[in-house]
Structure 1
């Protein structure tokens, strides 16, 4: 499949590790550096969508455009692509506009992959809001 890379357990674990790392860093920076945090939240969402695609399809997007990643995610988990699309819109606000993402903007945008901790393991569990 063009624009994709095959996944194995190492690739899947690596993308999951990066998703958690980006998300944790974004939460840490959110109040003081909202633009950097916004970009990291997007990176976390992209990595998380790669994990979903790896698990469901055995491949993840490696194309040059985010629209390919959205299409692949729709195939892997129909409905989840809207969360990735929202995150990518945030990336444009955070990284490509001259203004700053203000707290109000962050609060108005839906949190696409909110975090919680599993009560038994203490590990982070991320899932889209419904």
Structure 2
């Protein structure tokens, strides 16, 4: 459990960044552009116009971003698993 606490927040943060990059690639492939604003909801909405499931995965990752990056409590093993799955789904979709 201590090992989980030491790395879980960092892993989730990396999952979020990888998911954002994959979402940008999906939008570029589908629309020719990606969201460049500060509001993550804009990115989710733009991605939704290309792929609703991918948008849900990105939203899930973004929901974990603040807790992983700035929260006092470490993310849970379940959240870590969810972040990894969401990132993997976005990366697989970006490869398609």
Higher relative contact order (CA 8 A, sep 6+): 2
Higher strand fraction (1 or 2): 1
**Into which bin does the TM-score normalised by the smaller protein fall?**
0.7 to 0.9
Q: RMSD of the TM alignment (CA)?
A: 2.4
1:48 aligns with 2:14: no
Tell whether the 8 Å contact from 1:113 to 1:127 is kept in structure 2 after alignment.
no
Higher helix fraction (1 or 2): 2
**TM-score normalised per structure 1:** 0.59
Between the aligned partners of 1:75 and 1:54, the Cα distance in structure 2 is 12
> Which runs of 5 or more structure 2 residues have no equivalent in the other structure?
none
Tell whether the 8 Å contact from 1:45 to 1:87 is kept in structure 2 after alignment.
yes
Between the aligned partners of 1:98 and 1:66, the Cα distance in structure 2 is 22
**TM-score normalised per structure 2:** 0.78
Q: 2:36 aligns with which of 62, 81, 97?
A: 62
1:86 aligns with 2:60: yes
Q: How many residue pairs are counted as aligned between the two chains? A: 89
Q: In the alignment, which residue of structure 1 is the partner of 2:92? A: 126
Q: 1:35 aligns with which of 9, 21, 40?
A: 9
> Cα deviations across residues 70-129 of structure 1 (Å, max 9, x unaligned)?
01000122332110000011212201311112334423x3611327xxxxxxxxx6249x
Paired residue secondary structure (1:63): coil
Which is higher, the Rg of structure 1 or of structure 2?
1
Tell whether the 8 Å contact from 2:26 to 2:93 is kept in structure 1 after alignment.
no
Between the aligned partners of 2:23 and 2:70, the Cα distance in structure 1 is 22
